[in-house]
Amino acid sequence: MPTDHADHADHAEQAHDAQQVARPRPLRAGERRTTMRIPTAYTPSPPTGVGTDDYRCFLLDPQLAQDAWLTGTDIRPGNPDVVHHVILFRVDGSLTRAAERKDAESAEAGWTCFGGMGLEGEFANLDDAPWLGAWAPGGRETVTRSGYGVPLDRGDRIVMQVHYSLLIRDEGDLSDRSATRLRWMPRSRSDLEEVHTVLLPAPVELPCRPEHSSGPLCSHDASVVDVKARFGERVGQTANLLHLLCGTDVAATDTTTCTRPVTRPMTVLGVAGHMHLLGRTLTIESNVGADDERELLDIPLWNFDDQAARPIRPVHLDAGDTLTVTCHHEQALRDLLPAFQGTEEKYVVWGEGSADEMCLGIVQAVFDQ
């Protein structure tokens, strides 16, 4: 959702800054708070028995007695050592039964959900994703600009998807009970403008460096097989399906891009980007090559620990305009990062794991009426 939004060498300053991030922002007129957390502690492990990642979805009930506008989220990872990201999805009445059935299938809290909520009947709409909020390292409480919100109906449930990464971990307690505080107001009291989330994924085709190219996973095909083994056939196909979405060819490159048309008129209020550990730069641009080309987001030096959404001066786009996300990744970073110590270099494609990569632009916008 659109937000009103350095390193500190001194430890005291870091501690003070952490306290400031943890302190919730004051409620505005008419707003209320609801806190939800994972019902019981969950200890992650790779569900396929392969790899170092676990995606778990937890069904939460905000217990709203009336229709509401969601005006902010404050997601708190319970165990930051293993929580890679958190996404909150809206589950409307049509999916509630499917979510309840899925939740009942396991004796543990939640269910495995690589690539989305993992629900029968779920429809992935990149141009209007059912996101309510998200957290990634560096994230903090998000609050919509005054006059904006996301509708949440009475009876709607929320799925909290947590990506647990076991790539780097101590041998201590891995259990987690992540939580979120919702900021909301009764819909009857206000007439807000609805905020939507548009997702801009691009394929990743990062080749092994020449001196490492003899490795068993140093080809596109071998890497896709490996992704499927860890996350399943459906999710593993994403690496190839993104080429169909973007109209691109499978070709090794350290810079990837995807341009998609705007399907309906909108005003962009905020942007964010997402990559993993081999990311170096990320941009989101509108109408590249045209007279009205604009740069909506420029991250010249990717910092995995600073993925907060960024508000921008509103930009209006018409249907037929374009949005382009571009990412640059570097294999050389694996020589510098402890997460890759002792791992073999591989051809990197789009994958759900922390040792895989993504190139994702996130646009928060209001559609024209």
Cα–Cα distance between 243 and 114 in angstroms, integer?
20
Nearest one of 214, 221, 250, 256 to 360, comparing CA atoms:
256
pLDDT at 152 over 80: yes
Q: What is the b/e burial string over 201-224, where b = at least 16 CB atoms within 10 angstroms of the residue's CB?
A: bbbbbbbbeeeeeeeeebbbeebb
Mean pLDDT of 106-111: 92
Residues with Cβ within 8 Å of 264's Cβ and at least 6 positions away in sequence, in order, are: 127, 319, 367, 368
DSSP letter assigned to residue 343: P
pLDDT band at 171 (very low <50, low <70, confident <90, very high): low
Task: Over range 126-145, report the average pLDDT.
Answer: 92
Is the pLDDT at 7 greater than 70? The verdict is no
SS (H, E, C) 11-53: HHHHHHHHHHHHCCCCCCCCCEEEEEECCCCECCCCCCCCCCE
User: What predicted TM-score, i.e. pTM, was given to this entire model?
Assistant: 0.89
> Which residue's structure tokens are 């929580």?
83
Strands 193-194 and 196-201: unpaired
pLDDT of 341 > 60? The answer is yes
90 in Cβ contact with 158 (< 8 Å): yes
Three-class SS state of 130? coil
Closest C-alpha to 164, from 61, 257, 275, 52: 52
Overall average pLDDT of the 308-329 stretch: 96
Average pLDDT over residues 186-205: 92
Task: Please state, for a pLDDT cut of 70, what percent of the chain lies above it.
Answer: 93
Q: How is residue 349 written in tokens? A: 């494609």
Mean of pLDDT values over 150-177: 90
Contact status, residue 237 vs residue 181, Cβ threshold 8 Å:
no
